[in-house]
Amino acid sequence: MVKRIAEFRANLKSLEEQRNDKVAEVQAIVEGAKSETRALTEDEVTKFDNLEKEIAAIDKTIAAEKRASALEIIENRGKDEPEDKNKTKEEAEVRAFESYLRGVAPEERADVNLTTGDNGAVIPASIANKIIKKVVDISPIYSLATRYNVGGTLSIPYYDESTQSITMAYATEFNELESKSGKFKSIELKGFLAGALSKVSKSLINNSQFNIVEFVINAMADSIAVWIEKELLNGTTDKVTGLSMVTQVVTSAASSAVTADELIDVQEEVPDTYQNAAIWIMNKTTRKAIRKLKDSEGNYLLNKDVTAKWGYTLLGKDVYTSANMPTMEAGKTAIYYGDMSGLAVKLSEDVSIEVLREKFATQHAVGVVAWVELDSKIENGQKISALKMKAV
């Protein structure tokens, strides 16, 4: 079984490398035409279409390989491998959590029993970890940010050359060199407490065919991810500031529309050294408006792209839309651009998830509460820029 897994991984790696090569060919075709300021030739269009089909075929093959491997692992589980103690404990914790939700006496096992209180229970760490992992999967902003999973106050040092930097200049023999250098500063990330409550119908809980554990994990992850993304994008006064304190800001000439030149200005605010991992973040209505913009030759600036993470590229970079972003309204920040690793996020790893079975009994429901401590600030201001709409 171990040998089969190794073979699967090798084959998967080979397929991914083939896909990357073909994606690079697609990008080279587009970049070649773009650099020569011309349309694609018929041969290039044909090659582009063929490569696109080959990429899609590889994607289907990779997906099939993963499904086949998963089925083989399930079929052979326990046949030729020693028991995975960590996996066994995690499965026992899931069963204990499900039993508690359903009001069934859980199996007696000291290392997985839930910690109960006056009105509920603190669930096992494995369930909380599943929720936070799903939060990372749901929110690209949180996923791409620089994350610190620690408790208490965190001080992050950085080197500031905004007012003075190390310089080199011509010198005269026997004359002293003038010393100039930047300063070391720091940002502090604290822990602002926030909670999310999800109420689960007992009618669902009493349905033995319903996967109640997965439902709770998904419901809590969705709620936490939406809130965290809102705070990272917009911030709250005297709480989490997130991207709201971006210093590289371009202000639009109009209060409800943007131009191609303004988008270029926003992109150029970020130094070339940080452009590689840069993305655009905006509301879907903003993306809709930008899709109608054209350059001086009548070419659309924003295009559908099979190789893009979220299906669209703008000036060569992926575009992510979030309902948490403001629309193009007067005085609002409508667009962020840059490498999101410039945003520091501290989420205490001691995430507390509690099940309240009695509190909502009169509503024929069970409550699930998640408590987190979060803070976020800009860690590297050069990595991120923003477009702010003109105030009326």
Q: Are residues 131 and 22 in the same domain?
A: no
State mean pLDDT over 27-40: 84
Q: DSSP secondary-structure letter at 382?
A: G
State mean pLDDT over 316-338: 94
Is 172 within the bounds of a domain? no
For residue 118, what pLDDT band results from cuts at 50, 70 and 90?
Answer: very low
Q: Are residues 63 and 133 in the same domain?
A: no
Tell me: the pLDDT tens digits for 16-25? Answer: 888 888 888 8
Q: Are residues 222 and 297 in the same domain?
A: yes
For residue 45, what pLDDT band results from cuts at 50, 70 and 90?
Answer: confident
- Mean pLDDT for the chain overall: 80
Q: Are residues 205 and 266 in the same domain?
A: yes
- What span, in angstroms and rounded, lies between the C-alpha atoms of 24 and 42? 19
Chain centroid to Cα 5, Å, comes to 29
Nearest to 353 by CA among 87, 95, 101, 89: 101
Q: Are residues 247 and 378 in the same domain?
A: yes
Phi, psi at residue 23, to the nearest 5°?
-60, -40
In the chain, % of residues over pLDDT 90: 27
Q: Are residues 292 and 229 in the same domain?
A: yes
Is 144 within the bounds of a domain? yes
Tell me: the pLDDT tens digits for 230-248? Answer: 999 999 999 999 999 999 9
Q: Helix (H, G, I), strand (E, B), or coil: what is residue 327? A: coil
Is 169 within the bounds of a domain? no
Sign of the Cα torsion 80, 86, 90, 96 reads positive
For residue 122, what pLDDT band results from cuts at 50, 70 and 90?
Answer: low
Tell me: the pLDDT tens digits for 262-309? Answer: 999 999 999 999 999 999 999 999 999 999 888 777 778 888 887 888
Q: Are residues 9 and 129 in the same domain?
A: no
State mean pLDDT over 336-363: 83
Residue 91: predicted pLDDT: 77
Q: Are residues 128 and 255 in the same domain?
A: yes
Q: Kindly tell me if the per-residue pLDDT of 147 is higher than 70.
A: yes
Is 182 within the bounds of a domain? no
Lowest mean pLDDT among 64-78, 286-300, 363-377: 64-78
For residue 371, what pLDDT band results from cuts at 50, 70 and 90?
Answer: confident
State mean pLDDT over 49-70: 82
- What span, in angstroms and rounded, lies between the C-alpha atoms of 256 and 110? 61
Of the candidates 76, 106, 138, which is a domain's last residue? 76
- 74-88, 139-153, 330-344: which is most confident: 330-344
Q: Kindly tell me if the per-residue pLDDT of 68 is higher than 90.
A: no
In the chain, % of residues over pLDDT 70: 77
Q: Kindly tell me if the per-residue pLDDT of 186 is higher than 80.
A: no
Q: Kindly tell me if the per-residue pLDDT of 81 is higher than 60.
A: no
Structure tokens at 136: 């990372």
Q: Are residues 62 and 196 in the same domain?
A: no
State mean pLDDT over 105-117: 51
Burial tier of 18 (Cβ tally within 10 Å: 0-12, 13-18, 19+): middle
Is 192 within the bounds of a domain? yes
State mean pLDDT over 40-63: 87
Residue 236: predicted pLDDT: 92
Is 65 within the bounds of a domain? yes
Tell me: the pLDDT tens digits for 163-182? Answer: 555 566 666 666 665 655 55
Q: DSSP secondary-structure letter at 381?
A: G
Domain count, the chain: 2
Q: Are residues 243 and 138 in the same domain?
A: yes
Nearest to 386 by CA among 309, 280, 285: 280
Q: Confirm if 16 and 62 have CB atoms less than 8 A apart.
A: yes
Residue 85: predicted pLDDT: 57
Amino acid at the residue 215: F
Q: Are residues 23 and 146 in the same domain?
A: no
Q: Kindly tell me if the per-residue pLDDT of 48 is higher than 60.
A: yes
Amino acid at the residue 219: A
Q: Where are the alpha helices (DSSP H) in the chain?
A: 2-35, 42-76, 85-102, 125-138, 140-144, 202-205, 212-234, 260-268, 284-290
Is 170 within the bounds of a domain? no
The pTM score is: 0.65
Q: Kindly tell me if the per-residue pLDDT of 110 is higher than 60.
A: no
Burial tier of 97 (Cβ tally within 10 Å: 0-12, 13-18, 19+): buried
- What span, in angstroms and rounded, lies between the C-alpha atoms of 365 and 382? 49
- What span, in angstroms and rounded, lies between the C-alpha atoms of 219 and 213? 10
Q: Are residues 147 and 200 in the same domain?
A: yes
CA distances from 144 to 53, 70, 137, 153, 390 (A): 29, 28, 10, 22, 29
Of the candidates 15, 48, 76, which is a domain's last residue? 76
Is 82 within the bounds of a domain? no
Lookup result for tokens 């490569």: 51
Residue 285 belongs to what domain range?
A: 115-156+188-392
